[in-house]
Chains A and B, each alone.
Chain A
Amino acid sequence: MSSDSDPKQSLWTEEFSVQASEDKYVLRRQFAKFLVLTSFGMLAGNAWIWSKSLFRGRSAQLPERTVAAASEVPVGGVKLFNYPGPNDNCILVRVSANQYVAYSQKCTHLSCAVYYSRDHNRLECPCHEGYFSIDDGRVLQGPPPRPLPRIQLERRGDQLIATGILEEGQ
């Protein structure tokens, strides 16, 4: 008995074999179909990154936001703030009397919050011991693959204003 011989065979017989010997063929075709769908998923992922990069290029400037009063932070002290969105945690460090730096607080490894180590004068991630330079946010040690994004600061009078974000390569 063969289901192939009937030209008007039901659609389901294409996917489900009647004969046991056809089982492997159907499974292989289904497996191949699954692989094609996975490949399409990968393509969709790449397309999403591409569209994000296009959108990013055309996006408006980041807003300016007052971070803190300069006198509010003591030398060696820190202040946490959010920039540019309410969920983007950042850390402001007063390195010396006239030097302030600010970075995203999310470690570039697995997004743990980094903190300032005054003893070693560096930013440290407690999760996997990733260390970042306080001067430019570059990775000093550990698994983080990229430097910390740096927040551009501008001083206007006694106010420290965040004006943008510098990613690696900018």
Chain B
Amino acid sequence: MTGINNTMNSGASVESKGVVFFAHNTVDVDYVRIADLSARLVEQHLDLPITLVTDTESQPEHDYDHVVRVEYTGNNFRNDHISKETKQWKNHGRYTAYEHSPYDNTLLIDTDYLVLDDGLLKLMELDYDYRVMENSNSSAETMPARMGQVSLPYLWATVVMFRKCPRSKMFFDFIGRIQRNWAYYRNLFMVDGTSYRNDYAFAMSNTIINGYSLTTKNIIPWKMFTVVQEVVRMDTNLKNKIIVRLKDLAITIPKHNVHIMDKNFLTSEAFEEFVEEILDV
């Protein structure tokens, strides 16, 4: 499958669908391992092919539909809110998802977004060029709603869907432009902090592509659930529910997609056990 051109050339009537993951290992986090485990959840619940975009040295173990090797050139850092440490962050280049995706309809998902239901397939039945997650319910305190104190609301690039079309291409091209000129756009949109963040770049591009307006046209029409705290383990021993055990708290939620921000947990044996349990259910 090679996306829209292939479809046009072949005259195929059914558009291809697939998932794209980005995973660039850092000195602290084995993102490719997280991708390998998340990929199993995607296959189980969405039954879609997965393309992994990764660096030239990583060694993915999952049997991906495609593995796209790119040379990572970015230099970015993030403040880990759990460990309170500054960590390397290889988040550049997400805008290349458009060109790297071999599918006509793509779900671009962060590897820390655990797919535990088939809701995302419903999204693909909607009329769209691209859609981005706007809202997130948090397991803890209310999350900041804006990119800065006097800035605009941001989007969650954690889950993005797009169809190969000129408007989607414009959207992703513009994100690339924002990334390359981050210092300018950061000031233009009054962003607090200096690190490049895809959530912000996607929001900026969406605002500009929509004629400098805030519109729900390109928004995924539901919220995601984000666990921001340190996770000890996740259990599946309740029917149609999952239990996210934190250090001093347990959250029982319906078995639906969940965004886990604790990278240490996602690279742990406990997460692998959780995936095995889910696949066995």
Partners in one complex: no
Interfacial residues, chain A to chain B (CB-CB below 8 A): none
